[in-house]
Structure 1
């Protein structure tokens, strides 16, 4: 089964390839940022920093 893309085949293929590359870069960026954020949160947790939302209403700031 062959699909004929006509005279615009190179444009169509290039567009899909560019979109795939951009999506791949975004996925990579998200993965790297997630790792960076989790590492930073671990460092903060080890240093004793806690979330304000974890405190009770009766705790003082």
Structure 2
């Protein structure tokens, strides 16, 4: 794993040793949702408002 990162990112061995691999792998494998107006937070799905509410 470290050797592949070394080759792909051209990192020094010091940079690899200083890296938190759990966070790095989570960041690399993160896939953004197909709809940027939808978020899942604590298991609940939230949709961004497309227009202001009628009472506003």
Do Structure 1 and Structure 2 share a fold, with TM-score over 0.5? no
Q: More strand by proportion, 1 or 2?
A: 2
Larger Rg: 1
The normalised TM-score by structure 2 is: 0.29
